[in-house]
Amino acid sequence: MTIIIVCATAVFVLLGIMTMVFNAEDEKENKELVAEVNDNSGDEQGRKYRFRPKDDRKEGAENKDSVVVNEPIEGDPYQELDELIGLEKVKEEVRSLANYVKVQQMRKEKGLKTPKLSLHLVFTGSPGTGKTTVARIVARIYKDLGVLKKGHLVETDRSGLIGQYVGQTAPRVNALCDSALNGVLFIDEAYALTQSHSSQDYGAEAIATLLKRMEDDRDRLVVIVAGYTNEMKKFIESNPGLQSRFSRYINFPDYTAEELYQIFRMYLRKNEYTITQEAAKNLREQLEIVVDNKTRNFGNARYVRNLFEKAIQCQANRLNKSKNLSADELAELTLSDIQEALKQQKP
C-alpha cells in the first residue's frame, strides 16, 4: 500500500511539473520580450514587448506580428505633412492642434491658467486614406512640441490587445502601453474591441485597462484610435470613459481619382520608373471608373500601391525575354503593363 501511495504521489508531482513547463512555453510563444536601449520608453528595465499572434488571429490572416514599433525618423514633420497628396482638411486640423498645444504651453510658462490638454485623437475614414501615416507625423510633432520625449509610434489592432484566455488581456494591454510610453499608441479598427458577442470576449477588459493607463500615464502616453466613421462613433459612445478622453476627431476623406493618379506618379518617381503618355491617359480614365464604382471597402492609396506593384511585375514579364535593354526601357511602363495590371487588381 505504501508503495502505491508513493507512486501515485510521484505521478501527480510529475504531471504538475509538465503542466508548468507547457504553460511557460505557451506564454513564451504568445509574448516575446524584445531587448531595447533603456530610453525610458518601456517598463522598468527599458524593455518593449512584441506579440506574435497565433491562435487569436483570424483564419487566413497573414502570419505577422500584430504590433509594429515605428521609431521616429529624422526630418521636419510639418514639411512631411505638407507634402502629403490631398488631405487638405486633415493637414489643417493637425496644424490647428499643434498651434493650440503650442499656445497653451506659452500660457503655462507665463503663469496663466490653461485648460486640461487632451492629446488623444480619433481618426475616422476608410482604409488607405493615410491615417497611419498621419499618426506617425503627429507623434513626431508632439515630440517637436516637447509634449512627448521620444515621439515613436506603436501600431496595433484588436489581435494585439486581446488574449485568448482569462488573464492574458490586461498584461497584453499593459505591455503595449509600456512600449508606447513617451510616444503614441495607434489602435487601428479600434471598434472591433466592442463588436464581439461572444461570452468569452475580453474587449471590455482591454478598454478598461487602456483607460486606466491613459489616466495613470497621462503625461507620457498618447492614444490614437482609428477606423470607419460610423463604427468609431459607436465605439466612443459605448463607454463614458472613452467619451471623456477622446474629444477631438479628424476625418480622412476618400481620395479623388486625380489624387490617386498623383499617388501613382509618386510611386513612379520614388522607384525611378516612367510611364508613356498613352499608358498615363488610360490609367487616369480607369481610376475615374474605379472611384465612381468603388465599394465601402475600397482601399484608396493601398489600391494604387498594389496596382503599381502589379504594373512593374507586368513590365518584368514583358521584358523577360529581351536582351541588352537600355535604362529607359527598364524604367518605362507601357499601356500593356497598365492594362494587364488593372485586370489583375481588384477594386
pLDDT score recorded for residue 261: 98
Q: Are 115 and 30 in contact (CB under 8 A)?
A: no
pTM: predicted TM-score of the whole model, two decimal places = 0.79
For residue 145, the SS3 value is: helix
pLDDT, averaged per 10 consecutive residues of the chain (347 residues), comes to: 52 50 42 36 35 34 63 89 97 96 92 87 96 96 95 94 87 95 96 78 90 94 97 94 94 98 97 98 97 94 97 96 93 97 87
**Domain layout of the chain by residue ranges:** 1-33, 35-252, 257-344
In the CATH scheme, what is the homologous superfamily, with its name and number, of domain 35-252?
P-loop containing nucleotide triphosphate hydrolases (3.40.50.300)
Q: How far is CA 29 from CA 25, 76, 162, in A?
A: 6, 39, 15
pLDDT score recorded for residue 1: 52
pLDDT score recorded for residue 181: 96
Q: Report DSSP state, residue 110.
A: T
Instruction: Tell me whether residue 7 is exposed, middle or buried, using C-beta atoms within 10 angstroms of its C-beta: 0 to 12, 13 to 18, 19 or more.
Output: exposed
pLDDT score recorded for residue 12: 52
Q: Which CATH class is domain 257-344?
A: mainly alpha
What single letter denotes the amino acid at residue 285? E
Q: Quote the CA–CA distance of 151 and 71 in Å, as a whole number.
A: 8
pLDDT score recorded for residue 3: 55
Q: Quote the CA–CA distance of 249 and 101 in Å, as a whole number.
A: 16
pLDDT score recorded for residue 166: 81
Q: Which three cell numbers stand for residue 174?
A: 499593459
Q: Are 151 and 72 in contact (CB under 8 A)?
A: yes
Q: Which three cell numbers stand for residue 124?
A: 475616422
Q: Which helix (H) or strand (E) holds 80?
A: helix 77-83
Strands 121-125 and 221-227: what pairing?
A: parallel
pLDDT score recorded for residue 9: 53
